Amino acid sequence: MSDLSNQAEDRCRPAASLPLGAWLRSLRLGTLLLSGVAVAQGCALAAWRGAFDPVAAALALLTALLLQILCNLANDYGDVGKGSDGPARIGPRRGLHTGAITPAQMRAALWLCGGLCLACGAALIVHAARTPGTALLFVLLGLGCIAAALGYTLGRYAYGYLGLGDLSVLVFFGWTGVAGSFALQAGHIDALVFWPASACGLFAVAVLNINNLRDIDADAQAGKKTLAVRLGAWRARCYHVALLALALLCLAIFALLALHGWSRWLFLLALPWLVLQARHVYTHNSPEAMRFMLVPTVRAALLTQMLFMVGLSLHH
């Protein structure tokens, strides 16, 4: 009973009196898994090629997590400023939305996180880049990542409001996160790596699409023209199923082209969870039905990619 009464008191307590919880909600810690698995997959592929570098791997992981946090904080700041996080929103109410975090505090957090991204990214490039040309390439790529993290919801032409968020997630959570982590350790780009990198990005896009399906009505009212809003609810649900199928196809193509033996098909053990997840999304047409699908989508995506990496590590 005491636990229940404490929970009730917490719910009744003003949001401003719970700043730590407000910051944790704004950080969206669950999304950090998506950044982490992209780097982990790049590292697994580097190990597969005999090029694993633990220092580069650690710095890449830290940089990716900081970039994700920067993006999450910027999303809160931009969405509140543009009115997307209004009363009609079904998703969780975050710190800036509730008033527990002030705009000035959020701006300070953005500056701090941006500075940490630059510092970690610079350390990664100094450690891993092998030629001046490679260093310059990754400097430009790193600056592009920071610009993308901020530009999703910030600014007059925020691309998340133009339906370009899905493409950005594919590029940065897939190709950049996986292939970039691989290249920094291996010292070169391997075309085969882009198959699992694409799968990783497509799974991340599926997670974004669940979020956008959940908020489709509120986003439409606020003028946030996500791809889900542009497609409409039914086509966005079909699109979700296609994303999961294409991700599996990319992994299967890589397995056929680059691997041999039974372990290359380990990722297919996650198929039942992916099918259940896709079926739920396809058959439920209300935004409220998407409220509890974010976590199952993340779990199914992570399980598939973890099994893929296990299979890769068993390959000889």
| Mean pLDDT comparison of 12-21, 154-163, 183-192, highest-scoring range | 183-192
Would you say residue 13 has pLDDT above 60?
A: no
Q: Which of 149-153, 177-181, 258-262 has the lowest mean pLDDT?
A: 149-153
Would you say residue 92 has pLDDT above 70?
A: no
Please list, in sequence order, all residues whose beta carbon lies within 8 angstroms of the beta carbon of residue 149, skipping any fewer than 6 positions away. Answer: 67, 68, 70, 71, 74, 117
As a whole number, mean pLDDT of residues 112-129 equals 93
Degrees to nearest 5, angle at CA 205 with 199 and 207: 110
As a whole number, mean pLDDT of residues 63-74 equals 89
Sorting pLDDT into bands at 50, 70 and 90, what band is 234? very high
Q: What's the confidence (pLDDT) of residue 113?
A: 92
Choice between 73 and 251, residue whose per-residue pLDDT is larger: 251
Residues 185-224 have pLDDT tens digits of 998 889 999 999 999 999 999 999 998 998 888 888 878 8
Q: What's the confidence (pLDDT) of residue 87?
A: 54
The CA distance from 21 to 94, in Å, is 9
Choice between 84 and 48, residue whose per-residue pLDDT is larger: 48
Residues 292-302 have pLDDT tens digits of 888 889 899 99
The CA distance from 178 to 39, in Å, is 6
As a whole number, mean pLDDT of residues 250-261 equals 94
Q: What's the confidence (pLDDT) of residue 139?
A: 92
Sorting pLDDT into bands at 50, 70 and 90, what band is 91? low
As a whole number, mean pLDDT of residues 84-93 equals 55
Sorting pLDDT into bands at 50, 70 and 90, what band is 86? low
Q: What's the confidence (pLDDT) of residue 90?
A: 54
As a whole number, mean pLDDT of residues 164-168 equals 91
Q: What global pTM score does this model have?
A: 0.86
Give the 3-state secondary structure of 169-233: HHHHHHHHHHHHHHHHHHCCCCHHHHHHHHHHHHHHHHHHHHHHHHCHHHHHHHCCCCHHHHHCH
Choice between 196 and 82, residue whose per-residue pLDDT is larger: 196
Q: Where are the domains of the chain?
A: 21-314
Q: What's the confidence (pLDDT) of residue 5?
A: 36
As a whole number, mean pLDDT of residues 236-243 equals 95
The CA distance from 309 to 187, in Å, is 21
